[in-house]
């Protein structure tokens, strides 16, 4: 069993639609898969055993989904990295253009050659 981090608790709250003004005053605790298995060995009621089996099945399914989508997760991360690099290049270019706009234009050019006489 472990205590959730602040960001995890915030994510959990938004997913189960609890009110923003009420609810928990402390960060909640969560069980790992092994913790659920140990708890099911201690709690012997029929309902506790059924719930433990369901929770362990959920952990197994989650592990399968993660294993199946590792390649997809890697591709998404690669795309995000590329996007971040492109954003930084665009930001640099925008700053350079702003700097060029700030430079005053040169004055009128002086004509070369002899002036015309009328």
65-113 tens-digit pLDDT: 888 888 888 888 899 889 988 888 888 988 999 888 888 888 888 888 8
9 neighbors 29 (Cβ within 8 angstroms): no
SS3 track for 5-58: CHHHHHHHHHHHCCCCCCCCCCCCEECCHHHHHHHHHHCCCHHHHHHHHHHHHH
24 neighbors 12 (Cβ within 8 angstroms): no
Phi, psi angle pair for 23, to nearest 5°: 90, -145
Q: Which residue has the tokens 């998404």?
A: 76
Task: Give the whole-angstrom CA distance, residue 64 versus residue 117.
Answer: 92
How high does pLDDT run on average in the chain?
Answer: 79
pLDDT-derived band at 24, boundaries 50, 70, 90:
low
1 neighbors 32 (Cβ within 8 angstroms): yes
Check residue 14 and give its pLDDT: 55
Task: Give the whole-angstrom CA distance, residue 17 versus residue 87.
Answer: 34
| Rounded mean pLDDT, 11-36 | 66
Model confidence over 38-56: pLDDT tens digits?
Answer: 777 777 788 888 888 888 8
Check residue 21 and give its pLDDT: 56
| Rounded mean pLDDT, 9-13 | 69
43 neighbors 52 (Cβ within 8 angstroms): yes
């Amino acid at each position: 069993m472990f205590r959730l981090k602040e960001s995890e608790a915030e994510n959990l709250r938004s997913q189960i639609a609890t009110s923003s003004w009420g609810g928990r005053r402390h960060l909640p605790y969560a069980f790992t898969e092994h913790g659920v298995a140990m708890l099911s060995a201690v709690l012997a009621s029929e309902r506790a055993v059924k719930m433990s089996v369901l929770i362990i099945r959920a952990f197994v399914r989650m592990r399968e989904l993660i294993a199946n989508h590792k390649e997809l997760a890697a591709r998404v991360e690669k795309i995000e990295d590329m996007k971040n690099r492109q954003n930084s290049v665009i930001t640099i270019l925008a700053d350079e253009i702003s700097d060029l706009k700030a430079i005053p234009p040169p004055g009128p050019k002086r004509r070369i050659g002899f002036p015309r006489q009328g």
